[in-house]
Amino acid sequence: MLNFTYKYFLKRLLFLLNPEVAHKLVENLLYLFPKNLFKFIFGYKFNSKISTQIFNNKIPSPIGIAAGMDKNFKSTPNYLNLGFGFSVVGTVMIEPRKGNPKPRLIRDKSNNELINSLSFPSEGSKAILKRLNSNSALKKRLIISVSGKSEEEIIENILLFENYCFALEINISSPNTSDLKKFVNEKSIYSILNKSRKVTKMPIFIKLPRIDEINYYEELIRPIKKFPDVGVVLSNTLPIDDKRLKVGKGGKSGASLFESTLKILRYVRKSHPEIVIMCSGGISSSEQVRILLNEGANALQIYTSLVYKGPGIIKELNNGLLNN
C-alpha cells in the first residue's frame, strides 16, 4: 500500500515541486506525524536473522539512511519505524549554516539521480542536540555525521555528540564544501583521528571521497588503521561540473554510482580484510545489497533510491536479505 501510494500519488505530486522544497515538505511531515501512530500504521517488524553487529553494537538491519537525508534530526525517528536499521544524521556543523546559493539540488529523472551543491546547510549543533535529547532511546541506531572548517571544530562536534549515538562519522569528503579538501590526505586524517582518540573512545567512521585513482585509497586508509574502532564509508558523491547549479559544480548520487562503489569496496576489502566498511552510492535493489554484503561490506547506506523508489524500498531490501 505504501509503495502504491508513493508511486502513483505522492511521488507525482512531490516531483512537481522544486526538489529542495519537496525534501523539506516530506521532512516536516515526518517530523510532525506522531511517532507512535506512524509506527502503528507503517511500522516494520524486523526479523532477527537480518540483524548485524557494527563495532559491537547490534542494529536490526545492515541498511541505513545516508547523511544528508536528515540533516537536522527531524525525520529519522519515523524512517527507523519504516525499517531502516540505522540513520546517519547530519552532516552537522557547529554554527547554523545556509550552505551554497540556490539552485543547488537537481533531479535527473531519466537516470534516477540527484545532483547537489548543498554544502552542509545545517541548523547547527545546539538545535540538533535539543531534538536528540528528546529521543535518547534511539541512540543505538544513530550515527552522527560531523564536520567543520577546522580540526578543532570537528573535535568540538565530537565532544557534543558522542553520547547521543553508537558511532560518529567524520565527513571530510563532500565535493561541495571547499573547506574540506585540506583534510583529504594521510597527514590530516592521522591528525584528526589522533586528536579524536585523545578525547573519546567512540567508534568513528571516516567518510572518504569517490576517487578515480583507486590506489590513492591506500594513502587515506593507512592512518585509519593506526587507531582502534575506526572504519570507513565508501564513498561520497561523484564530483561533476553542472551549469544548472548556481556554483557550477556539485556531487552526483544515484543509480550510475553502483559499479564505482563495488569497485572501490573490492579494492579496499582485498587489502584490508579487518577494517569496518560501510558502502554508499547507487544502491537500489536487493541484488545490489546482496552483492555488496557478499563482497565484504559490513553495512550499507542509501539516499537517492529512497527519493525515486519511495519509503517502501526498505521493506523490499530487508525482505531480500531474508531470501538470500
C-alpha count within 13 angstroms, C-beta hemisphere, residue 219: 12
Number of C-beta neighbours around residue 11 at 10 A? 16
- Asked if CATH classification 3.40.1280.10 holds for the domain at 2-322, the reply, yes or no, is no
C-alpha count within 13 angstroms, C-beta hemisphere, residue 243: 0
Burial of 299 (C-beta count, 10 Å sphere; 0-12/13-18/19+): buried
DSSP assignments along 197-254, one per residue: HTT----EEEE----SSTTHHHHHHTTGGGSTTEEEEE--PEEEE-TTSTTSEEEEEE
Q: How far apart are CA 137 and CA 123, in angstroms?
A: 22
Per-residue pLDDT of the chain (324 residues), as tens digits, is 677 788 888 999 999 999 999 999 999 999 999 999 999 999 999 999 999 999 999 999 999 999 999 999 999 999 999 999 999 999 999 999 999 999 999 999 999 999 999 999 999 999 999 999 989 899 999 999 999 999 999 999 999 999 999 999 999 998 888 778 899 999 999 999 999 999 999 999 999 999 999 999 999 999 999 999 999 999 999 999 999 999 999 999 999 999 999 999 999 999 999 999 999 999 999 999 999 999 999 999 999 999 999 999 999 999 999 986
Which one, of 169, 38, 171, 147, lies nearest residue 95 by Cα? 147
Q: What is the pLDDT of residue 307?
A: 97
> Beta strands 86-92 and 63-65: pairing type?
parallel
Does a cis peptide bond (omega within 30 degrees of 0) precede residue 91?
Answer: yes
Q: What is the pLDDT of residue 324?
A: 67
Supply the Cα-derived Rg of the chain in whole angstroms: 18
Say which amino acid occupies 17.
L
pTM of the model: 0.96
C-alpha count within 13 angstroms, C-beta hemisphere, residue 98: 4
Q: What is the pLDDT of residue 180?
A: 82
Which one, of 43, 3, 54, lies nearest residue 293 by Cα? 54
Q: What is the pLDDT of residue 178?
A: 76
Structural domain boundaries in the chain:
2-322
* Residue 23 near residue 303 (C-beta atoms within 8 A): no
Q: How far apart are CA 17 and CA 271, in angstroms?
A: 45
- 41-68 burial string, b = 16+ CB within 10 Å, else e? ebbbeeeeebebebbebebbbbbbbbbb
C-alpha cell, 105: 539540488
Q: How far apart are CA 139 and CA 156, in angstroms?
A: 19
Sign of CA dihedral 18, 19, 24, 27: positive
